[in-house]
Amino acid sequence: MRRVLLLLVMFAAPTTALAQEHPDVVRAKAAYDALDFAAAITLGQRALTQRIGRDDRVITTELLGMAYGALDSTRQAVEAFKQLIFLDPDREPDVEQVSPRITSLYASALGQVLVVRRLGVDSATFIAGQGGAPVRFQLSRSARVMTRVVGSGLDMVVDSQNVGGAARVDWRGIGPDGNPVPAGLYQVIVTAFEGSSEFSAAIDVVVLHGAVDTAQHLASLPGYTERPESVSPPRGFKPLGLAVLFAGVTAGASLALENTTLGGGERREIGGVTLLTVGVGLFLSLRKPDPVPVEANIDFNRLLREQLAAENSRIVEQNVARRRQVVLTVVERREER
Amino acid sequence: MRRRDAHSRDQTPGVSPGLWALLGALVGALIVPRIATAQTVRFGVHAVGISHVEISENRRVDGTGVGGQITVRLGRFGLELSGYTAKMTDAPEGVEEFDLLQGDVRLSFRIAQSLAIEVGGGRREVDPEFAAQDIGWGRLGILSEVRLARIGSLWGRGAYLLNAEFNGGGDAPLAVELGLGAGLGTANGRFRVRVEYEFQRLDREIGTVKVPIQMTLAKFGVDLGF
């Protein structure tokens, strides 16, 4: 029997070291460590009748539960653990250090009470109304749960639902008037109801305000570039050909139409002009051709510019809306115990 | 050199006044009200070289001169007013030298990209009178103009000369003219160098006597566009 108790004590060391100040609590802890469970119970009960701090009360209650458990006083152990759960719902025996018997007694106590456990708010940054800060908690039993946020002159119900086990509620940071809540300190209060039982847990959060980033205008659509609207065709001799054709036809017709009685004379005029005309054609053939428009590319660029303009219009509208928005940063405020 | 007197000027033949009035009204109605918004207005000056021959080959007279031109383009319509004066001094022995003054009006309407119908008229006077024939005519023809590049174009024209009249009398059952031209200028159209050739043949007859007239002309000029 002595060996069994030793094993129980070895596994039943207090899970977390809290500040121990009251002498009776220190003595009760020493008695427990010396495996004198009866003395530990006596000293612990005496300490609870005195004015001791919350941490000492938590340690003493936990000590009582484990001492009763070690002495096989199941009912007293469960009652002690129920008191412990009400005092600190998040404190529970460490399965790595405590005997399974003790943890089962704790679990039995937990199943008999209604508490909100492991209440926490994940740090989040979001645009008010478009996101939310997750509020997480667990219930020891299924119950109706109302989540409220109180602070900065506001008292808002965020959510109300039936919950069993773990739950998550998103707080969107919007006040009753639909506007972002002011920056400041808030308290998230989760209250569970079941029949006449009621339990509330609260956590402090800090809300900070920030400006929403505006989007920059686009200079081009990603993945698209404008195409050349005109290209120079390859050099050709069409100008020379046309000049020769026109000059040849005119000169030929002129010679053919000459009055045989009058003759053609020296024909300096047609000769000179024909030569110059052909020269113009040759010059324009050797010169780099003029760029010609590419209709398909013009249409493509027009559509691209229309799309770009439409996209920038959307960005303008979004920026107008964003300038009215507020980025909320919600951070859980933890108190040093 | 004998000068034309007032009496002889009154007798100078030409296109009938009705045709001139009709052409003038057409030009006025189509061009003048919108000239301020015309697509192109060009003013040009040019030097001319002329070879003029009447009756027989040994009466050929050559000369040079200067002229001017106004061209207006408005949509499908085009109006060209041109004129020149020349001194026909290179004459063979026994042929009188003379001064020549000619004016032309051409109104075109483009019916295809490079093809236009052209109507108009012209008048040529010589001084002294009867050194050569004073002539007036109407014209109906076609004009083909091709744009070779932004800075260059060439054109050819052919027309039948209507109702040709001469101060010496007679008529011309065959009267035609041909033309060839090329221009080269700046890309903005402000300046242009122009070379042009014109050929004119009028088979004048007085009764059964054939007294043909033929003239060739070369122009070299510059245009200023607005």
Tens of pLDDT along B56-95?
888 889 999 999 999 998 888 999 999 999 999 888 888 8
Q: Residue B53: list chain A partners with CB under 8 A.
A: 262-263, 265
Query: Phi, psi at residue A43, to the nearest 5°?
Result: -65, -40
* Spatial separation of the C-alpha atoms in residues A14 and A3, rounded to whole Å: 19
For residue B4, the 8-state DSSP code is P
Tens of pLDDT along A237-247?
999 999 999 99
A7 reaches B (C-beta below 8 A): no
Tens of pLDDT along A318-336?
888 888 788 888 888 866 4
Our CA angle for A165, A170, A172, nearest 5°, is: 165
A84 touches A58 (CB < 8 A): yes
Closest CA to A274 of A296, A254, A291, A259: A254
A319-328 b/e (C-beta count within 10 Å ≥ 16 → b): eeebeeebbb
Structure tokens at A314: 């959307």
Structure tokens at B14: 């030409």
Contact between chains at B178 and A268 (C-beta distance less than 8 A): no
A91 touches A115 (CB < 8 A): no
Tens of pLDDT along A257-309?
888 888 777 788 899 999 999 999 999 999 888 888 899 999 999 999 999 99
Q: Which residues contact B44 (CB under 8 A, 6 or more apart)?
A: B68, B69, B70, B71, B192, B194, B221, B222, B223, B224
* Spatial separation of the C-alpha atoms in residues B216 and A265, rounded to whole Å: 10
Contact between chains at B182 and A268 (C-beta distance less than 8 A): no
* Spatial separation of the C-alpha atoms in residues A164 and A144, rounded to whole Å: 9
Closest CA to A48 of A63, A60, A32: A60
Tens of pLDDT along B48-66?
999 999 988 888 899 999 9
Phi-psi region of A151 (alpha: psi -120 to 50; beta: other; left: phi over 0): left
Query: CB B111: neighbour CB atoms within 10 A?
Result: 11
Structure tokens at A97: 């250090």
B 145-174: CB under 8 A from A: 146, 148-152, 154-156, 158
Contact between chains at A246 and B176 (C-beta distance less than 8 A): no
Q: How far is A247 from chain B (nearest CA, A)?
A: 7
Q: Residue B220: list chain A partners with CB under 8 A.
A: 276
Q: Is the pTM of this model over 0.90?
A: no
* Spatial separation of the C-alpha atoms in residues A265 and B63, rounded to whole Å: 13
Q: Residue A270: list chain B partners with CB under 8 A.
A: 180, 197, 199, 216, 218
Residue B24's identity, in one-letter code, is G
Q: What is the ipTM of this complex?
A: 0.81
Q: A282 has which bridge partners?
A: none
Tens of pLDDT along A136-145?
999 988 999 9
Q: Residue B156: list chain A partners with CB under 8 A.
A: 246, 249-250
Contact between chains at B148 and A243 (C-beta distance less than 8 A): yes
Going by pLDDT thresholds of 50, 70 and 90, the confidence category of residue B7 is very low
A276 reaches B (C-beta below 8 A): yes
* Spatial separation of the C-alpha atoms in residues A102 and A107, rounded to whole Å: 9
Query: CB B113: neighbour CB atoms within 10 A?
Result: 10
Residue of B50, B180, B201 lying closest to A259 (CB–CB): B201
A328 touches A149 (CB < 8 A): no
* Spatial separation of the C-alpha atoms in residues A46 and A95, rounded to whole Å: 28
Residue B142's identity, in one-letter code, is I
Query: Phi, psi at residue A6, to the nearest 5°?
Result: -60, -45
Complete edge-to-edge strand list for the sheet that includes strand A116-121: A116-121, A133-139, A166-171
pLDDT, residue B8, reads 43
Residue of B51, B56, B178 lying closest to A253 (CB–CB): B178
Structure tokens at B111: 């019916």
